[in-house]
Amino acid sequence: MLEKNFVENSELLKVGEIQTSWPIVEDSSKEVALKGGLKIRYRERKFEGERLLDITFNVGRQWMTQSIVIETWPVGYGLRRYWQCQCGKSCSVLYLRSDSHTFACRECLNLKYNLSYLNRHTKVGKLLYRAHWANRAIELQERISRIDYQGKYTRKATRLMKISKKVGMKF
């Protein structure tokens, strides 16, 4: 049987976790710990007109180095950053699979979500699906500091109500 690679079992490198500077300060090196515990050292540099992020991380007993292109797109309030995957796709999250040595997008690493393999038409599938979303609702409820702002529901509160309705829970 083939081993399925899941997003939940991979390390995530989110574009918001990395602090970049403008203009680029090439001498500074920073370190960040990802949610899964992987520590990454990174520094920015400019090469042939592109912004690059050089990252160094430890896989097993081996130190790996990878350069990732940082793209910026103008939005209404400034610039938004994206990673450019090795396939050329712009992503806000790159993944490191447990058997891989480079960060890449979900499509390049052939990653799927655990929830997509549940058969929701069976009793066990229905139970696992509801348990997953109930867990997500509880996690979201812990992060909500206020339900409304200026007489309107906040986005987190609206999301919680939507998830609760999906599961059949009442908060």
Query: What tens digit of pLDDT does each residue of 9-26 get?
Result: 888 999 888 877 666 666
Summarised one tens digit per residue, pLDDT across range 65-120 is: 999 998 988 888 888 889 999 999 999 999 998 888 899 999 999 998 888 888 88
Residue 22 to residue 41: CA distance in whole angstroms: 19
Give residue limits of the domains in the chain. Answer: 7-96, 118-167
Helix, strand, coil shares of the chain as percentages rounded to 5? 25, 35, 40
- Distances in whole angstroms, Cα of residue 111 to Cα of each of 57, 84, 105, 143, 171: 21, 17, 9, 27, 33
Q: Is the pLDDT assigned to residue 3 strictly greater than 60?
A: no
Tally of CB atoms within 10 A around 102: 19
Over 90: is that where the pLDDT of 164 sits? no
pLDDT per residue as tens digits for the range 112-144: 888 888 888 999 988 888 888 888 888 888 989
Which residue in the block uniquely carries the two structure tokens 């069976």? Answer: 122
